Amino acid sequence: MNEPNIALESHPFLLVSDNHADARILEAIERHAKSIRYRCFLGDAMGGDNPNDTLARLEGYDVCIAGNHDTLTLGRNDEDQFAEGAVIDTRVNREEIRGDGMAVLEQFVQSFSRDGFLLFHGTPDDENAFFLNETDIRPLLASQTEYQVLIGGHMHLPRLAIYNIKSGELSFKEIRMPFSHFVLDTSENRYLVNVPSAIPGRLGFDKPGYSTISPTLNPNEYNLIFAFL
């Protein structure tokens, strides 16, 4: 985990986030995307009913990012930033996973970067933070200029933000169910991808979702698909 021989620029990879200890849905996503070799989890494994089975599945992933519910379970986050129910859930999860599970969770990282891609949970430096709108997104892009594609979870909301390198214009693409397909041209744009929640999400996305990215024949282009079960 987190030391993968993963060539993000040349192979398809699966992006899953915010499953909140629902191992059944995680298994369903993996079955649905079984042909995709490389797997990346963007945080929040904890906060639900089946943390041990969830961690057992995630041990086989190439990349696992620590979400805010994961760091709360590890005792590294401030309970005052969470709703009471979330605090209770993570306390219960801590008792359920005990030493072995906590050791797996300890391996989760703040962020992961490779070949122009940057993966994280909330923001690269803060798993609790949200990038909600242009006011949040522009400083994030300005602080991470070496990356063409930035990929986060946390919001439970699928979204694609496109920053045109030449004009400086920032635009957004609409995500539709059951899937949305986009071609990312990194020679002209930089991209900020919000991966949908692996449990029913927000703003009308009431089905579990995931994303995949794969290269095209053009070395500067990638296929991005948002999919919903």
Let me know if residue 93 belongs to a domain. Answer: yes
User: For the residues 39-56, what does the mean pLDDT come to?
Assistant: 96
User: For the residues 104-130, what does the mean pLDDT come to?
Assistant: 94
Let me know if residue 2 belongs to a domain. Answer: no
Measured distance CA(87)–CA(56) in Å, rounded: 22
Let me know if residue 61 belongs to a domain. Answer: yes
Look up the pTM and report it.
Answer: 0.94
How many domains, in total, are found in the chain? 1
Q: What is the CATH number of the domain that holds 223?
A: 3.60.21.10
Let me know if residue 176 belongs to a domain. Answer: yes
User: For the residues 96-125, what does the mean pLDDT come to?
Assistant: 94
Let me know if residue 1 belongs to a domain. Answer: no
User: For the residues 38-55, what does the mean pLDDT come to?
Assistant: 95
Mark 71-109 as b/e (b = at least 16 C-beta within 10 Å): bbbbeebeeeebeeebbebbebbbebbeeebeebbeebe
* pLDDT tens by residue, 127-159: 999 988 999 999 999 999 999 999 999 999 899
Domain that residue 136 falls in? 13-228
- Percent of the chain residues topping a pLDDT of 90: 85
* pLDDT tens by residue, 193-220: 999 999 987 667 788 999 999 999 998 9
Burial class of residue 46 in the structure, from the number of CB atoms within 10 Å of its CB (0-12 exposed, 13-18 middle, 19+ buried) = buried
Let me know if residue 194 belongs to a domain. Answer: yes
* pLDDT tens by residue, 7-30: 666 789 999 999 999 999 999 999
Cβ atoms of 62 and 37 closer than 8 Å: no
* CA-to-CA dists, residue 192 to 3, 136, 143, angstroms: 23, 12, 13
CA-only gyration radius of the chain, Å: 17
Structure tokens at 223: 């296929």
Q: Sheet holding 149-152: strands in order across? A: 111-114, 117-120, 149-152, 189-194, 159-164, 170-173
